[in-house]
Structure 1
Amino acid sequence: MRRRLRRRNERGLTLIELMVVMAILVMLAAVITTQVVKRVEDAKVAVAHADIQSMETALDLYHVHNGTYPSSQQGLQALVEKPTSEPEAKNWDGPYLKKGVVPTDPWDRGYVYTEPGEHNTDSFDLYSLGRDGVEGGEGKDADIVNWDTSQR
């Protein structure tokens, strides 16, 4: 009798026990994956804020050198190449961005630059269309903008 009990215990896990273990592992994986995806999105928003702040600094330096911000037509490219259209950049001393490249936002789209700005009428508006790529939006789909300091 003892021999039978010992064999039963030595056989290993039953199918039900394996199914329970698998279910627990699947639930853990789902929770972890959800948290990782959330952190990736949060990181993308932080990168967009950092890019915008960096480009604001570069645009302000451009303004100090040339007395004006690049026009909307000249765009952010004026930070890496001397513009050939008006307003003339007489004292251009760029490139004003590291690596001489205008960054794209974390969703691989260009940042939107308008001068004069609709929100910053004395300077410029600079923003990313965010995760959804559409102007406006709320929550995770909100635009990342330079005129709303509560976003930072």
Structure 2
Amino acid sequence: MQKVKVIALVIITLISAFAKSSSRELSPEEIAYLDIKQLAEAVELYHREFGRYPTNEQGLGVLAQEVFISKSCPCKKDKIINGLPEDPWGRDYLYLSPGKNNPEGFDIWTYGKDGLPGGTGANRGGGNWGELECGLKEQHGFQAFFILLILTGFGVSLPPYIAGVFLAYRKGNSIEKSLVGYHLGVLCYFVLLVFLLAVASVIL
């Protein structure tokens, strides 16, 4: 039984260590993507209420102003959002309607760290036409891949492990002795194997 506890502890430690490393702080690019997504949803709500998008003169600021938003009660005023966020580099998000990238709707974007069009890396910027979303998916792709591998490892190894425990118990072993043996090695092998594959995919 002590062997089971030790091996289980090793597996749990490996998985929890990865979970902690994956729950890092968001990068500026990820924060920008989430802000832009929230602002775009607020603009769409404004469109549903008023039948049009905010004008370029109104800009995104109108979303944080008290406006009449209830058709059933014209006297009711409220804000669509409580306040406008700045981009991670301390500048206002930019707005254009109709947009150059979304001619049927609107563009919301940031130019990135340097505040200038173009650039690469942190200076690349992006908007609600998919660039930041692609970057976010790339950064989180490994986490989904790792979870898929772990689930695959458990899915493959648990049936033979359970069968091994059952057969060992049928032979008259105690439940504690039935939990260890060749079948436990199979379980640990597959779980550790997929973990190492995930790590190797990042290193290589």
Shared fold (TM-score, shorter chain, > 0.5): yes
Equivalent in the alignment of 1:96: 80
The answer to whether the aligner puts 1:108 opposite 2:90 as a matched pair is yes
Aligned mate of 2:28, from 44, 49, 52: 44
Query: Could you report, residue by residue, the CA deviation over 1:49-100 in whole angstroms, capped at 9, with x for unpaired residues?
Result: 00000001100000000000001110001101157xxxxx896964111xx2
Aligned to 1:79, what secondary structure does the other structure show? Answer: helix
Matches within 5 A, 1:72-151: 72-82=56-66, 94-97=78-81, 100-148=82-130, 149-151=133-135
**Distance 1:94-1:115 versus aligned 2 partners, 3 A rule:** farther
RMSD (Å) for aligned C-alpha atoms:
2.6
Contact residue 66 and residue 90 of structure 1 kept, 8 A: no
* Structure 1 unmatched runs, 5+: 1-38, 84-88
What letter corresponds to residue 124 of structure 2 in structure 1?
A
Distance across 1 between alignment mates of 2:121 and 2:50: 38
- The TM-score with structure 2 as length reference comes to 0.47
* Structure 2 unmatched runs, 5+: 1-23, 137-204
| Aligned-residue identity in percent | 33
Contact residue 112 and residue 128 of structure 1 kept, 8 A: yes
Query: Runs of 4+ in structure 1 displaced over 4 angstroms?
Result: 89-93
Aligned to 1:118, what secondary structure does the other structure show? Answer: coil
**Distance 1:143-1:90 versus aligned 2 partners, 3 A rule:** same
Aligned to 1:101, what secondary structure does the other structure show? Answer: coil
Distance across 1 between alignment mates of 2:78 and 2:46: 8
- The TM-score with structure 1 as length reference comes to 0.62
Query: Could you report, residue by residue, the CA deviation over 1:92-144 in whole angstroms, capped at 9, with x for unpaired residues?
Result: 964111xx211110100000000110110011000011111111212221012
Aligned to 2:80, what secondary structure does the other structure show? Answer: coil
Equivalent in the alignment of 1:61: 45
What letter corresponds to residue 128 of structure 2 in structure 1?
N
Distance across 2 between alignment mates of 1:96 and 1:52: 15
Distance across 2 between alignment mates of 1:119 and 1:112: 13
Give the deviation of 1:44 after TM superposition.
1.0
Aligned to 2:108, what secondary structure does the other structure show? Answer: strand
Q: Larger deviation: 106-115 or 139-148?
A: 139-148
Aligned residues: 107
What letter corresponds to residue 58 of structure 2 in structure 1?
Q
Contact residue 99 and residue 106 of structure 2 kept, 8 A: yes
